[in-house]
């Protein structure tokens, strides 16, 4: 296959052919964020002479529990491209932002390789890395003064830098820089929602897909600064001598964050600069109304926590209820009776509580965003992923290999698993995502017609062995929560608590 050597604005790269698709891996979209660039906004990469080998993935971002075989490094700002054969036509571009709670993940995960997007969808697929944990979200802007005033939300700034690189270079790989769709799941989906509300991202993408990404749980800048101050004390760094941060070994930052149990607390924060305000407020005010949105979630999002949090195996029914109460205060007193007495009484207690936590942490925010767009008369489509996998059900993240048409690489897949139905559903979802990137709507065979989500016509595509469209499937549940919030006189704000994370949100 020809055209494996491509010239970017910074130098030539040579890719490889894999499964009939052109692939370039490990292309730098910014300078290595080390030394003086640690905790600083990304800078354009340095140019190189000759031809850069792009046959291997670059390192993933620093993280405490990397996947087997994953190499991590502070020098992590690389992207990867899968493209169909060059034919002189500009292809739609899709940019994947990985999840992982802003603590982990990689643009090189086998479940999210873009082979099928390029081969079956005639799409150019890009995956990116961005700085995570303390390297991406240590809020030094209010501590470090003018020198660090742009250090907030560094991981989001990395994403913007990658999108700028795509805008300026993707045409050389056969992509259309004026037809870019961003999509992501979990922290990646949350990132997509944030990018919709960020001035620096304007014009860099044209469609957006949010998978299981709540954009309503945030710390204040003051609280985020408090976490940063704790990190400085743990590292024995004086706030007046922040240059010392440049010489501390990278692993020590991860250790300090773990010792302080900061976990997902190191995450994006509305800082008034990079992220001017609360994303839903920004969208309600009319920001990014020209961007079609596809948004959805999984039926049993919170079930993933039962697999990753050992504490649930140690609790009896009373202990579980107490923990659920703690995680949903002050809403528990208003909504618990609905889930304990009226919501699907045929289900075991654990499943009813999982439904409550799923609505609390994921569904409500997705509905709020869809409702805002629908009331504005702007195009938005909504879905729910109901297909239950072996072991994990329809838990958080189960949908990702379906979107990429790579269910063979799903974490729940085991030798001997019958993938017939999974493959059929994967192809349907895959085609819908491709249609959205190409046409601005997700209608594609073999799915039934998928209407837009509108006031009074809150249509939701349900992905399962048999896909169907339901009308406002959350009406009763949403009513319970909205009435509860009205009685409490407060806004909904989920508390994201996982094992080992502090509970002082």
- What per-residue confidence (pLDDT) applies to 186? 96
- What per-residue confidence (pLDDT) applies to 307? 82
Distance in angstroms between the alpha carbons of the first and the last residue of the chain = 54
How many CB atoms are closer than 10 A to CB 290?
11
Q: What are phi and psi for residue 138, nearest 5 degrees? A: -85, 115
Q: Which residue, 145, 129, 116, 108, is CA-closest to 61?
A: 129
Domain count, the chain: 2
- What per-residue confidence (pLDDT) applies to 501? 46
Cα dihedral sign, 58-94-277-216: negative
- 394, 267: one domain: no
Residues 455-495: pLDDT tens digits? 999 999 999 999 999 999 999 999 999 999 999 998 887 76
- 332, 202: one domain: no
Q: Which of 60, 104, 116, 186 is catalytic?
A: 186
Helix axes 221-234, 250-259, angle to 10 degrees: 110
- Given 291, 319, 337, the domain boundary residue is 291
Residue span of the structural domain in which 3 resides: 1-291
- 240, 312: one domain: no
- 361, 494: one domain: yes
Q: Which of 74, 219, 300, 301 is catalytic?
A: 301
Query: pLDDT under 50 in the chain at which residues?
Result: 497-505
What predicted TM-score, i.e. pTM, was given to this entire model? 0.96
DSSP state of 391: T
**d(Cα 74, Cα 79) in Å, to the nearest integer?**
14
Q: What are phi and psi for residue 461, nearest 5 degrees? A: -80, 125
Q: Which of 98, 139, 360, 396 is catalytic?
A: 396
- 278, 253: one domain: yes
- What per-residue confidence (pLDDT) applies to 440? 97
- 452, 503: one domain: yes
How many CB atoms are closer than 10 A to CB 504?
7
Paired tokens of 136: 């991406």
3-state secondary structure 210-221: EECCCCCCCCCH
- 257, 331: one domain: no
- What per-residue confidence (pLDDT) applies to 106? 97
The residues that bridge with 27 in the sheet, in sequence order, are 79
- 226, 303: one domain: no
- What per-residue confidence (pLDDT) applies to 495? 63
Q: Which CATH number fits the domain that encloses residue 435?
A: 3.40.50.1820
Q: Is 191 a catalytic residue?
A: no
- 383, 285: one domain: no
Unique residue bearing structure tokens 């991590």: 72
Residues 6+ apart with CB under 8 A from 215: 190, 193, 194, 197, 279, 280, 365, 369
How far is residue 166 CA from its own chain's centroid?
18
- Given 291, 311, 344, the domain boundary residue is 291
* Coil, helix or strand at residue 154: helix
Q: Is 396 a catalytic residue?
A: yes
Q: Is 139 a catalytic residue?
A: no
- 169, 198: one domain: yes
């Amino acid at each position: 296959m020809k055209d494996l050597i491509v010239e970017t604005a910074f130098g030539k790269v040579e890719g490889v052919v894999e499964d009939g698709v052109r692939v370039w891996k490990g292309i730098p979209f910014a300078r290595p964020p080390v030394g003086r660039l640690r905790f600083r906004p990304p800078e354009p990469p340095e140019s190189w002479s000759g031809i850069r080998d792009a046959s291997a993935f670059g390192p993933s971002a620093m993280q405490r529990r990397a996947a087997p075989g994953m190499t991590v490094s502070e020098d992590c700002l690389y992207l990867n491209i899968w493209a169909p054969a060059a034919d002189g036509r500009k292809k739609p571009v899709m940019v994947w932002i990985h999840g992982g709670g802003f603590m982990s993940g990689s643009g090189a995960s086998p479940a999210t390789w873009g082979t099928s997007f390029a081969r079956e969808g005639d799409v150019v697929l890009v995956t990116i890395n961005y700085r995570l944990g303390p390297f991406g979200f240590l809020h030094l802007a209010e501590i470090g003064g003018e020198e660090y005033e742009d250090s907030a939300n560094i991981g989001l700034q990395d994403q913007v830098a990658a999108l700028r690189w795509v805008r300026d270079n993707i045409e050389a790989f056969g992509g259309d820089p004026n037809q870019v769709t961003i999509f992501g799941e979990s922290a990646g989906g949350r990132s997509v929602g944030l990018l919709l509300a960020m001035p620096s991202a304007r014009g860099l993408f044209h469609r957006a897909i949010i998978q299981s990404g709540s954009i309503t749980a945030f710390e204040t800048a003051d609280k985020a600064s408090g976490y940063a101050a704790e990190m400085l004390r743990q590292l024995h760094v004086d706030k007046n001598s922040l240059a010392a941060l440049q010489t501390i070994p990278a692993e020590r930052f991860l250790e300090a964050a773990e010792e302080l149990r900061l976990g997902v607390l190191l995450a994006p924060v509305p800082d008034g600069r990079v992220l001017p305000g609360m994303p839903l407020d920004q969208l309600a005010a009319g920001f990014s109304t020209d961007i079609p949105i596809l948004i959805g979630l999984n039926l049993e999002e919170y079930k993933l926590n039962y697999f990753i949090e050992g504490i649930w195996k140690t609790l009896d029914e009373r202990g579980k209820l107490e923990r659920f109460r703690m995680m949903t205060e002050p809403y528990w007193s208003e909504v618990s009776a609905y889930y304990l007495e009226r919501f699907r009484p045929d289900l075991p207690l654990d499943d009813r509580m999982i439904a409550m936590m799923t609505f609390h942490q994921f569904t409500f925010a997705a509905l709020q965003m869809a409702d805002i767009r629908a009331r504005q008369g702007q195009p938005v489509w909504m879905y729910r992923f109901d297909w239950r996998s072996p072991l994990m059900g329809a838990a958080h993240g189960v949908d990702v290999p379906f979107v990429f048409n790579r269910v063979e690489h799903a974490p729940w897949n085991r030798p001997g698993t019958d993938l017939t139905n999974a493959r059929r559903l994967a192809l349907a979802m895959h085609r819908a995502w491709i249609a959205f990137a190409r046409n601005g709507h997700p209608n594609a065979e073999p799915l039934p017609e998928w209407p837009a989500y509108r006031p009074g016509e809150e249509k939701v595509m349900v992905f399962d062995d048999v896909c169907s469209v339901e009308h406002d499937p959350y009406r009763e549940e949403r009513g319970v929560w909205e009435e509860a919030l009205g009685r409490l006189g407060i806004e909904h704000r989920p508390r994201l608590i996982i094992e080992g994370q502090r509970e002082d949100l």
